[in-house]
């Protein structure tokens, strides 16, 4: 108590403004109405504990569908399964009527087990194995072919029977030196091969996937793809689908608060003295539906993209990951120790590691403040603290957040720190059994009332 009491606010404010999470109202009510239940679940299953809330998925899908409907654009939505390992989230997406984007044989089998018909599964990613290609082709899934070499590999995997359904993955001019997809010249070669080997393949259209979250790069790529649609038609191949992948932003925190932080942060706001060069747009001005609306209104061939798609008889496919699991999980870390470091700051150690909250491993930060849930057995401490959060491993880089956070109440051992909205890559992209600590448990929660929920293991 004595050491912690010495950590008072310094004369100069070191920490940036707060970035409290935007959180699904039902989940927020659960956190504040049933704190003892959350503590009991962590005591039972360990820390960190991931709790998945599939009820949010259907609403995210419906908002995208409304954006398509406003422009009368035929469409297909594939849930990007790589965003999270949860089978419950795959089931929620399938039950809401969308397909599944898979990048491995295991993800493909999960999609089938969730009830997805093979025709509603699209396989993306480069360098697919022969076993994966054979399974996809036999089942009748849609295959996004990344290269001429992969097209050759697919051909050797085919048995007598139904032809393989393919999209050709294009590398737009704006993608620069990306290793994914084919150049314009490669696409023409691939189209010619498909035209010459019609018994083996069914050409269905084009696929592209760009990094980042800007609309402009996708608009430029769409204009380039429209030329390829014409090229395919000249070779007797009719495209029915253009798949633009994912990259639709979601909103983790209030956009104004986010802009304030970006405009005011300084090296002293971080315990390592470095402001990251790049962040996910946590306070995006656009929601995923806004982004989609803007894309469909963008210019293309003298009209809009929506108008072009309608006139050409094309369906637009998207592969959202984060934006379909927006608000679909929380991650709960138990505090093990708080250590004063002097100069008005401290480090909070949590039971768990930054492999389960992984932005710092990409030289960035998860710019969303955790929610402190004190242990019920203790009296709240008077006075706050300024601290960063570290994991419990021996790695010096095991930092959940370098950003100094201000706590109105000083966290103590046994308290919980809850990170909201972690389903989108955050919770399980790098998780492992380092130090032989067990993998974090994932529970599936279903609201049973306004402030109650039931859980089961994510199977």
User: CA 133 to CA 68: how far, in whole Å?
Assistant: 31
Percent share of the chain, pLDDT over 90: 77
165-201 pLDDT per residue, tens: 999 999 998 877 888 999 999 999 999 999 998 889 9
Q: Residue 34: is it exposed, middle or buried by C-beta count within 10 angstroms (0-12/13-18/19+)?
A: middle
Token pair of 395, please?
Answer: 């790695």
What global pTM score does this model have? Answer: 0.93
State both tokens at 349: 């150690």
**For residue 450, pLDDT beyond 80:** no
Other residues' Cβ atoms within 10 Å of the Cβ of residue 260: 16
| Tokens describing residue 104 | 């491995």
Q: Which pLDDT does position 208 carry in this prediction? A: 93
How remote is the C-alpha of 447 from its chain's centroid? Answer: 23
Instruction: Band the pLDDT of 437: cuts 50, 70, 90.
Output: confident
Nearest to 360 by CA among 238, 246, 274: 274
Cα gap 293→224, rounded to integer Å: 20
- pLDDT on residue 17: 80
Burial (CB count <10 Å: 0-12, 13-18, 19+), residue 234: exposed
- The whole-angstrom distance between residue 280's C-alpha and the CA centroid of its chain comes to 11
CB 128 within 8 A of CB 137: no
Pair 115, 100: CB distance under 8 Å = no
**Could you tell me how far CA 370 lies from the centroid of its own chain?**
19
Domain boundaries, the chain: 2-53+327-457, 55-250+287-324
Yes or no: say if 81 and 101 are a contact pair by the CB < 8 Å rule. yes
Pick the CATH number of 2-53+327-457 from 2.40.37.10, 3.40.50.300, 3.40.50.150, 1.10.10.10: 2.40.37.10
C-alpha triplet 167, 172, 177: angle, nearest 5°: 115
Residue 359 has pLDDT above 70, yes or no: yes
What does the pLDDT look like over 82-107, one tens digit per residue? Answer: 999 999 999 999 999 999 999 999 99
* Distance separating alpha carbons of residues 245 and 207, to the nearest angstrom: 7
CATH 1.10.730.10 fits 55-250+287-324, yes or no: no
Cα–Cα distance, 90 to 79 (Å, whole number): 7
Rounded Cα gap, residues 121 and 364, in angstroms: 33
Q: Write the secondary structure of the chain as one string of H (helix), E (strand) and C (coil).
A: CHHHHCCCCCCCCCCCCCCCCCCCHHHHHHHHHCHHHHHHHHHHHCCCEEEECHHHHHHHHHHHHHHHHHCCCCEEEEEEHHHCCCHHHHHHHHHCCCEEEECCHHHHHHHHHCCCCHHHEEECCCCCCHHHHHHHHHHCCEEEECCHHHHHHHHHHCCCCCCEEEEEEECCHHHCCCCCCECHHHHHHHHHHHHHCCCCEEEEEEECCCCCCCHHHHHHHHHHHHHHHHHHHHCCCCCCEEECCCCCCCECCCHHHHHHHHHHCCHHHECCCCCCCCCCCCECCCCHHHHHHHHHHCEECCEEHHHHHHHHCCEEEECCCHHHCCCCEEEEEEEEEEEEEECCEEEEEEECCHHHCHHHHHCCCCCCCCEEECCCCCCCCCCCEEEEEECCCCCCCCEEEEEEEEECCCCCCCCEEEEECCCCCCCCCCCCCHHHCCCCEEEEEEECCCCCEEEEECC
CA-closest candidate to residue 14, choices 211, 223, 264, 256: 264
Q: How confident is the model at residue 40 (pLDDT cuts 50, 70, 90)?
A: very high
pLDDT at 394: 85
Output the pLDDT for position 9. Answer: 42
Provide the annotated active-site residues: 394
- pLDDT category of residue 383 using cuts at 50, 70 and 90: low
**pLDDT confidence bin for 10, thresholds 50/70/90:** very low
Rounded to 5 degrees, φ, ψ at 332 are -115, 120
Count CB-CB contacts under 10 A for residue 240.
14
282's tokens:
């946590």
Pairing of strands 315-318, 75-80: parallel
Confidence of residue 382 (pLDDT cuts 50, 70, 90): low
In which band, very low, low, confident or very high, does the pLDDT at 377 lie, cut at 50, 70 and 90?
low
Q: What is the mean pLDDT of residues 335-341?
A: 94
* Range 342-369 average pLDDT: 90
* Over residues 433-447, mean pLDDT: 87
Alpha carbon separation from 156 to 159, 160, 392, 446 (Å, rounded)? 8, 11, 49, 46
Checking if the pLDDT of 3 tops 60, the result is no
* Cα–Cα distance for residue pair 368/347, rounded to 1 Å: 17
Tell me which residue has tokens 């989609």: 292
pLDDT value at residue 304? 98
Number of neighbouring beta carbons within 10 Å of residue 194: 22
Mean predicted lDDT score pLDDT of the chain: 91
């Amino acid at each position: 108590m004595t050491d912690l009491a010495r950590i008072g606010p310094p004369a100069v404010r070191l920490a940036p403004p707060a970035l409290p999470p935007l959180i699904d109202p039902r989940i927020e009510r659960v956190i504040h109405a049933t704190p003892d239940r959350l503590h009991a679940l962590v005591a039972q299953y360990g820390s960190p504990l991931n709790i998945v809330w599939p009820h949010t998925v259907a609403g995210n899908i419906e908002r995208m569908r409304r954006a398509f409907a406003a422009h009368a654009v035929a469409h297909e939505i594939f849930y990007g399964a790589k965003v999270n390992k949860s089978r419950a989230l795959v089931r929620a997406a399938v039950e809401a009527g969308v397909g599944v984007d898979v990048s491995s044989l295991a993800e493909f089998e999960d999609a089938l087990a969730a009830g997805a018909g093979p025709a509603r599964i699209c396989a993306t990613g480069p360098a697919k194995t022969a076993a994966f290609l054979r399974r996809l082709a036999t089942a009748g899934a849609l295959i996004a072919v990344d290269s001429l070499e992969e097209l050759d590999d697919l051909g050797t995997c085919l048995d007598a029977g139904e032809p393989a359904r393919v999209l050709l993955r294009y590398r737009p001019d704006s993608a620069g030196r990306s290793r994914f997809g084919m150049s314009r010249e490669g696409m023409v070669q691939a189209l010619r091969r498909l035209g010459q080997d019609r018994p083996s393949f069914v050409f269905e259209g084009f696929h592209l996937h760009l990094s980042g979250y800007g609309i402009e790069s996708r608009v430029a790529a769409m204009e380039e793809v429209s030329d390829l649609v014409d090229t395919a038609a000249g070779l007797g191949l009719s495209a029915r689908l253009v798949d633009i992948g994912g990259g639709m932003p979601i909103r983790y925190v209030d956009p104004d608060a986010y802009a304030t932080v970006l405009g005011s942060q300084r090296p002293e706001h971080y315990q390592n003295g470095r402001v990251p060069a790049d962040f996910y747009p946590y306070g995006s001005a656009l929601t995923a539906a806004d982004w989609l609306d803007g894309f469909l209104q963008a210019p293309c061939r003298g009209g809009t993209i929506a108008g072009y798609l309608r006139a050409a008889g094309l369906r637009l496919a998207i592969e959202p990951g984060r934006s379909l699991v927006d608000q679909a999980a929380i991650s709960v870390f138990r505090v093990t120790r708080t250590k004063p470091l002097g100069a008005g700051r401290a480090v909070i150690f949590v039971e768990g590691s930054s492999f389960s909250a992984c932005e710092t491993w990409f030289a960035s930060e998860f710019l969303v403040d955790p929610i402190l849930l004190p242990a019920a057995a203790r009296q709240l401490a008077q006075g706050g603290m300024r601290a960063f959060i570290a994991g419990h491993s021996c790695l010096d880089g095991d930092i959940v957040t370098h950003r100094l956070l201000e706590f109105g109440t000083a966290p103590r051992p046994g308290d919980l720190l809850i990170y909201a909205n972690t389903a989108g890559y955050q919770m399980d992209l790098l998780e492992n059994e380092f130090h032989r600590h067990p993998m974090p448990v994932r529970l599936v929660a279903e609201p049973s009332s306004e402030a109650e929920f039931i859980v089961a293991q994510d199977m």
